[in-house]
Amino acid sequence: MMPIPDSLTAAYSRWTSVSYPAQGGFSWRRESWANRLATSGALRHRGIDLSAAVEETAAACSKEFGDRVLISRKTVQGLHAPEKLRAGGEQAVVTAFIAAMIWGYGTTGYGPYRTSRVLTTDPEAVEHLVEIARIAQDPERGGERAFSHIAKQRSEGVPYLKYLGPAFGTKFLYFLTAASNDVDTTPVLDAVVRRWFTKHAEVKLYTAWWDLDSYSRYLGLLDEWRAQLPSPTESGPLQREDVELLIFASERGDADSWLTDDHLIEPAELGIDVLLEALWTEVEQLAASERDDSQKGPELLRQLREWIERDSAVDL
């Protein structure tokens, strides 16, 4: 059993001292998402309305935060409720996915483009999202099996939700499983969490490709550590997502500035480190998908140039 890293213990102590706050809401660029997805008409022929998905997400945010353009885990989780997905069919699943991506990308300028790319590059993206939702919320399978399914499809060369890596794919899996009472929650494994594990636990995890062993090890460590930490309330032991939140807060510095009154988080402006992380992920994914000896330098430069041009709204 791996000892609890000091950084996690410190975050836990801080969290308990301020009465266990949930992660607060944070702002997002509603117009950017609406404008970008409104131009993605490839799914209209099958009755999928991406603009309506953004508006439903915004309406859910308004119920929690009023006229403030904020989004929270609570809001997004509500859009992933199994009964809501069953009743709303494909449109509800796509809405839930878009809401998870809005939450995941926050105020970054490239979120709308990259989400649109996932939905329009894979000709069966909607069917695949519905399939993942069904697997993740199935009591006999769950989020880890959904992760394994995506990994298997990718390993066989299927363009299964192409351009959706685990750093953002596990955000979708997280909300799907957190919204269900019938499966274990499978938390987010993104670049922030990965960096924390490298620095504080000396554990190498992977977010550039769908590595099941890496994700399973991550879930196992969350289970080990939550079992060792004392229960913060009488309601029961810590959950996996509690430990993930503490890890994320520790790495981002949120643990030093938790608020107990407003529960509002205004994330730091998009910094060069975040952009470099995104670029590095793109490079790793390109390398993983191209295992021949072709020259990728010019192609990568072209992609980088287009990426910068698309993200003109981002202030460096």
Please write the tens of the pLDDT for every residue from 207-241. Answer: 989 999 999 999 999 999 999 998 877 667 899 99
Backbone angles phi, psi at 233, to 5 degrees: -140, 175
Give tens-digit pLDDT for 159-213.
Answer: 899 999 999 999 999 999 999 999 999 999 999 999 999 999 999 999 989 999 9
* Residue 104 tokens, joined: 């995941």
Residue 199, Cβ neighbours under 10 Å: how many?
Answer: 13
Which amino acid, one-letter code, is at 119? L
As a dihedral over the C-alpha atoms of residue 216, residue 218, residue 220, residue 222, rounded to 10 degrees, the angle is: -150
Within its chain, how far is the Cα of 20 from the centroid?
A: 22
By the 8 A CB rule, do 173 and 146 touch?
yes
By the 8 A CB rule, do 47 and 91 touch?
yes
According to the model, what pLDDT value does residue 110 have? 85
138 confidence band (pLDDT: 50, 70, 90): very high
Distances (CA, A) of 293 to 284, 288, 289: 15, 12, 12
Overall average pLDDT of the 21-37 stretch? 90
According to the model, what pLDDT value does residue 315 have? 35
Q: Which residue has the higher pLDDT, 176 or 289?
A: 176
By the 8 A CB rule, do 60 and 69 touch?
no
Residue 281 in this model has a pLDDT that exceeds 80: no
296 confidence band (pLDDT: 50, 70, 90): low
Residue 266 in this model has a pLDDT that exceeds 70: no
Overall average pLDDT of the 63-91 stretch? 95
Distances (CA, A) of 182 to 86, 95, 149, 197, 229: 15, 22, 19, 29, 24
Q: Record the pTM.
A: 0.84
According to the model, what pLDDT value does residue 256 have? 54
Contacts of 56 (CB under 8 A, 6+ apart): 79, 95
**How many whole angstroms separate alpha carbon 275 and alpha carbon 291?**
25
Residue 119 in this model has a pLDDT that exceeds 80: yes
Residue 141 in this model has a pLDDT that exceeds 70: yes
258 confidence band (pLDDT: 50, 70, 90): low
CA nearest neighbour of 241 among 173, 182, 139: 173
According to the model, what pLDDT value does residue 225 have? 97
Helix (H) or strand (E) holding 101: helix 82-105
Rounded (to 5) percent helix, strand, coil in the chain = 65, 5, 35
According to the model, what pLDDT value does residue 272 have? 44
Residue 268 in this model has a pLDDT that exceeds 50: no
Overall average pLDDT of the 62-90 stretch? 95
According to the model, what pLDDT value does residue 45 have? 63
Q: Locate tokens 């709308």: which residue? A: 112
Q: What is the mean pLDDT of the chain?
A: 84
By the 8 A CB rule, do 199 and 244 touch?
no
Give tens-digit pLDDT for 3-17.
Answer: 999 999 999 999 998
| N-to-C CA span, the chain | 42
Q: Return the sign of the alpha-carbon dihedral for residues 83, 178, 171, 265.
A: positive
